[in-house]
Amino acid sequence: MSWTIDDADKTYGVSKWGAGHFTINESGQLAVVPKREIPEQTIVIQDVIDEMLSQGVRFPVVIRFHDILRSQVKTINRTFNNIIDEADYEGHFYGVYPVKVNQMREVVEEIVEAGHRYNFGLEAGSKAELMSVLAYNTNKKALTVLNGYKDEDYLRLALLGRRLGRKIVVVVEKFSELVKLIELSKETGVEPIIGIRSRMTVKGRGKWESSGGEKAKFGLTISEIINAVELLKENKLLDCLKLFHFHIGSQITDIRAIKEAIAEGARIYCKLFQYGVNLEYFDVGGGLGVDYDGTASTNDSSINYKLDEYVADIVYGLKQVCDLEDVPHPNIITESGRALTAHHSCVITNIIGEIDTTSVNFDTKKITGESHLVSNIREVEEDLDKYENWQEVYNDAVKLKEDSLNAFKLGILSLVERAKIETIYWRILKKVAEIVSNKEFTFEQETELEEYLSGQYLCNFSIFQSAADSWAIDQILPVVPIDRLGQQPSKRCSLVDITCDSDGKMDKFIDYDEGIKKTIPVHQLDGNPYYLGIFLTGAYQDVMGDMHNLFGRLNEVHVYAHEGDPKGFYIEEVIRGSSAADVLSTMQYNPQYMAFTVKKAIDNQISRGLINPRDGVKLVDFYEDCLKSYTYLK
């Protein structure tokens, strides 16, 4: 059976996690589908790489597909509008994008622009985010929702926004914020729009489930909410309370948690309305998940529902409770960040080498007087074909390797003998692995052996900068070769990055037959460049990265689809990643001073005759060039 593109798709799950935005073309290249409605229009990632290389942009690189971002904004708005129509729901949808998920200006601008016709707004969770939102969310019909803990300046900025005529909602997360807000409103004479975050008993499902529940960090209890209502009434500001909010956690894996949250939240909303609060908005927070591993399950990196199920559960769930309670249907707000941004960006890394300790070429020829341990393991190898039980071969080899290590520690085995034993040992294990992979044999340790023998591909990137959640919370991100998908991958590898941290590795991948594996199938390096893409990095990963080992921000290329173009796209912008001088400056170094000091030291050697002046000048230039250069490997 020969390998086909379908096999590649099954192996890497592209159509599973790709959400209609990724595909493998007939030449075995990974391609982006910028507009889901037009699946035949694609952008081949290798073409983007070629163009980027011709512009002198080096790896690793973030590629942003702005059309995907626009498409996601459109999709969520249309889905809500359609289901609202279909359900005869009387409220409107006013989504907001929480900028903390990806605060890059270009991302925020694109979302604001694509969302303008839907009056799609923004959400901020800190003072700095609020300042960006004040500058960018200028649509007076769109909402600005303010979450997070707030001090006086935060609240004053919100009131400033009100004076600009913006629909800014201050969501009270903590009772004392309300007291302060009432005070400031009196002082300035500006009426706020107030929201209240409710502490729900229902929890999300998945990694972030502690964002909900009684012990959550944010929100008011029911008794606090009633006290808040009374306080507002006393201060004649009850009409400012317009929004009911909850957020039960990000990446909700199980649709049942959403249903439960709507049921509970809708009931609180209605009871508050009946209590005399003229609420207008029902804000369900974030939590709409992304199927990173493509299994459509309740795995932490997956979700067991689709967007339209999520939307229908909100709209119909809310309608049902409101109708029963005879309360007008509120406008609906979601604060989805992950689902909007995850797909639009990816990280492309070049493989700069392979770490394989099992295939070292070493002469294992017999010599007189060698240790019997060497002779014994050699015999196992020579008699390999005579064995009937592969388990026995494996056990013998493992035992002999252990014995030889002990012998070495006792000083009765030489370095050369140890090297011979190890070389033969790996050869035996590989042979066993090859034979047992033929399904006629059952062999207990088959998967372990495969992983034990697998090598590592050394990737030019830092996991701490580009895939923080993969390191921190074992998030699975799809990894796929950019090209050669028409060829069957010939081996399995785990991936390591270029930081000097042994945690700097990726060794959790989804296998659609066997579940989670430590390795992924890759092609043999053949002297040509080999690129791997890490996908769905647009949410959180893009902006949470740190400066471990002083690897800074990546080069970025921003790509737009363009039908008239022969390759179907153009690079709208290139943003250079951090230079060594940039990252050193953030750590309080002064690169100019550093260059000066090194130059002085070189001058000193020149004057002592230890460096020739021409060489000295070159060394100074070289040091200065390196300061200006990209932090990653050339």
Ligand X SMILES: *Cc1c(COP(=O)(O)O)cnc(C)c1O
Residues of this chain that interact with ligand X (CB under 6 A) are: 98, 100-101, 125, 147, 247, 250-251, 285-288, 335-338
Nearest CB to ligand X, comparing residues 530 and 540: 540
CB 101 to ligand X: min, Å = 5
Closer residue to ligand X, CB minimum distance, 545 or 568: 545
Q: Which helix (H) or strand (E) holds 419?
A: helix 415-436
Residue 100 Cβ vs ligand X, minimum distance, rounded to whole Å: 6
SS3 348: strand
| Cβ distance to ligand X smaller for residue 336 or 456 | 336
Which neighbouring-strand residues pair with 262? Answer: none
CA 589 to chain centre: 30
User: Residue 45 or 124: which CB sits closer to ligand X?
Assistant: 124
Q: Which is nearer to ligand X, 130 or 407 (CB)?
A: 130
CB neighbours of 570 closer than 8 A, spacing ≥ 6? Answer: 559, 560, 562
Backbone angles phi, psi at 244, to 5 degrees: -110, 130
User: Whole-number minimum distance, CB 241 to ligand X, in Å?
Assistant: 18
Residue nearest to ligand X (CB): 286
Residue 208 C-beta: closest distance to ligand X, Å: 7
The verdict on whether omega for the bond into residue 489 sits within 30 degrees of 0, i.e. cis, is no
Q: Could you tell me the smallest distance in angstroms from the CB atom of residue 341 to ligand X? A: 8
Q: What is the smallest separation between the CB atom of 171 and ligand X, expressed in angstroms?
A: 8
Cβ atoms of 83 and 308 closer than 8 Å: yes
Q: Give the nearest distance from C-beta 64 to ligand X in angstroms.
A: 18
CB of 545 within 8 A of CB of 22?
no
**286 or 577: whose CB is closer to ligand X?**
286
Residues in the chain: 634
The pair of structure tokens assigned to 605 is 């050697």
| Cβ nearer to ligand X, comparing 8 with 216 | 216
Write the single-letter amino acid at 496: V
For residues 96 and 123, the answer to whether their CB atoms sit within 8 Å is yes
Helix (H) / strand (E) element for 374: namely: helix 372-382
Measure the CA–CA gap between 634 and 629, rounded to whole angstroms.
10
Q: Which is nearer to ligand X, 60 or 337 (CB)?
A: 337
Least Å distance between CB 541 and ligand X?
Answer: 12
Nearer to ligand X, 337 or 616 (CB): 337
Please answer whether residues 171 and 181 qualify as being in contact, where contact means their C-beta atoms are separated by less than 8 angstroms.
Answer: no
Interior/surface letters 281-314, b for 16+ CB within 10 angstroms, e for the rest = bbbbbbbbbbbbbbbeebbbbbbbbebeebbbbb
Q: Which of 140, 79, 136, 146 is nearest to 107 (CA)?
A: 136
- Provide the β-strand partners of residue 515: 511
Phi, psi of 179 (to 5 degrees): -55, -45
Element (H, E) at 61: strand 61-65
Q: Rounded to the nearest whole angstrom, what is the least distance from the CB of residue 545 to ligand X in the complex?
A: 17
